[in-house]
């Protein structure tokens, strides 16, 4: 188990990159650190790896603090975005390298045998004699992961490992990584800024913004039960539609449509509706075409994404999107009559706190 307690990092220029992070990661869990550029993902990973010292706070592996411990003694395998392979060495020599250096080094024959065992697990036996420069990005990343695993670490840390790969290969390698780490049962922390990648491979996701954990939860909960407006906007593609609305008695009012507060489920309110302005969030997939619409508008742009298509329109003088079945054959310029089920509406206050 990895316990991160009140972890803070203030860089030399006084920038506070981490503001009291608390996380508990269970053994064998695959956790993604997710968030926009600069939110502090790599800072956390580097502190766990021992490449960076925290300003305060603690990190424990199985109850024992590792702060101050040398990176080599932390039992961690680290994989970087740029693979960091030695270009003049063959694949097998790259993978054996961590086994034949340092104080606990193995005899060469034993190291080679171990490297070959792991190459079987990661299915790269055929690359044994190749040099990194002659391999594709995907192959190099598999070698880098094998080199991290060959030391049989307790924890695997991956920093944006798929960033340099093309879109299709990213999909393939991310599935491979998930199935590999689950097969060998290793606790894994995977840094990414790609919400779709995090949703597809994680047991749980840590979504961060500006050095703060916004939500640490199972993927479906981040999507369906976002803790706040930041989470609702970060998860999901296309982005959730948001509308500022005014509360007037029992109605939320905006220029082009209103919502009846009596139709909201009372039990789902997380707190009182204090104030008069609120942000209403409706995901594009939760708008529906209806004979009893909330509002009527026109399709401005149609984007085909396969079975479904995204229809762009304007409401309240702002751009919005709805996802419909491609078979509905709606074209640009056509009228849209749009409604929403009340159970699929999110409500936030102006500070972004989730109310409903």
List interacting residues with ligand ATP (CB under 6 A): 11, 13, 15, 17, 35, 37-43, 193
Output 34 or 150, the one with its CB closest to ligand ATP.
34
Q: Is the peptide bond before 12 cis (omega within 30 degrees of 0)?
A: no
Output 20 or 116, the one with its CB closest to ligand ATP.
20
Least Å from the CB of residue 326 to ligand ATP: 34
Output 21 or 324, the one with its CB closest to ligand ATP.
21
Least Å from the CB of residue 17 to ligand ATP: 4
Q: Report CA 173 to chain centroid distance, whole Å.
A: 16
Least Å from the CB of residue 153 to ligand ATP: 21
Least Å from the CB of residue 73 to ligand ATP: 23
Least Å from the CB of residue 38 to ligand ATP: 4
Which phi and psi (to 5°) does residue 282 adopt? -135, 120
CB contact at 8 A, 226 and 215: yes
Least Å from the CB of residue 68 to ligand ATP: 20
How far apart are the C-alpha atoms of 189 and 196, rounded to whole Å? 16
130-156 in b/e form (b: 16+ CB < 10 A) is bbbeebebbbbbbbbbbbbbbbebebb
- What lies within 8 Å, CB to CB, of 328 at 6+ separation is 289
How far apart are the C-alpha atoms of 142 and 174, rounded to whole Å? 11
H or E element that contains 214: strand 212-217
- What lies within 8 Å, CB to CB, of 69 at 6+ separation is 50
Output 43 or 94, the one with its CB closest to ligand ATP.
43
How far apart are the C-alpha atoms of 136 and 342, rounded to whole Å? 49
Which phi and psi (to 5°) does residue 66 adopt? -110, 0
Least Å from the CB of residue 163 to ligand ATP: 9
Output 209 or 217, the one with its CB closest to ligand ATP.
209
Least Å from the CB of residue 231 to ligand ATP: 16
Output 154 or 193, the one with its CB closest to ligand ATP.
193
Angle between helices 108-121 and 91-100 (to 10 degrees): 120
Q: In 3D, which of 86, 214, 194, 100 has the Cα closest to residue 140?
A: 86
β-pair partners for 77: 156
Output 15 or 269, the one with its CB closest to ligand ATP.
15
Output 51 or 246, the one with its CB closest to ligand ATP.
51
């Amino acid at each position: 188990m990895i316990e991160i307690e009140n972890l803070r990092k203030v860089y030399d220029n006084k920038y506070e990159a981490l503001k009291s992070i608390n996380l508990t990661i269970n053994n064998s869990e695959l956790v993604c650190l997710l968030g926009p550029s600069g939110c502090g993902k790599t800072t956390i990973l580097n502190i766990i790896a021992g490449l960076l010292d925290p300003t305060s706070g603690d990190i424990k592996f199985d109850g024992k603090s590792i702060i101050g411990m040398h990176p080599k003694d932390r039992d961690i395998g680290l994989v970087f975005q740029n693979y960091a392979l030695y270009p003049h060495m063959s694949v097998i020599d790259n993978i054996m390298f961590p086994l034949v250096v340092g104080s606990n080094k193995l005899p060469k024959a034993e190291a080679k045998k171990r490297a070959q065992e792991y190459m079987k697990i990661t299915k790269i036996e055929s690359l044994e004699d190749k040099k990194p420069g002659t391999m594709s990005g995907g192959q190099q990343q598999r070698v880098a992961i094998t080199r991290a695993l060959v030391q049989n670490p307790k924890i695997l840390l991956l920093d944006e490992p798929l960033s340099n790969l093309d879109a299709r290969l990213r999909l393939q390698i991310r599935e491979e990584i998930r199935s590999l780490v689950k097969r060998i049962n290793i606790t894994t922390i995977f840094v990414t800024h790609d919400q779709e990648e995090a949703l597809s491979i994680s047991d749980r996701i840590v979504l961060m913004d500006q050095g703060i954990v916004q939500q640490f939860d199972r993927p479906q909960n981040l999507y369906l039960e976002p803790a706040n407006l930041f989470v609702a906007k970060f998860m999901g593609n296309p982005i959730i539609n948001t509308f500022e609305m005014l509360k007037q008695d029992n109605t939320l009012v905006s220029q082009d449509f209103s919502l009846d507060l009596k139709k909201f489920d009372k039990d789902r309110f997380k707190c009182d509706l204090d104030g008069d302005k609120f942000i209403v969030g409706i995901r594009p997939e939760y708008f529906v075409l209806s004979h009893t619409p909330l509002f009527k508008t026109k399709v401005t742009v149609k984007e085909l994404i396969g079975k479904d298509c995204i229809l762009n329109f304007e409401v309240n003088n702002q751009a919005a999107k709805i996802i419909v079945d491609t078979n509905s054959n709606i074209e640009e310029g056509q009228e849209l009559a749009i409604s929403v089920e009340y159970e699929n509406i999110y409500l936030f206050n102006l500070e972004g706190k989730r109310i409903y």
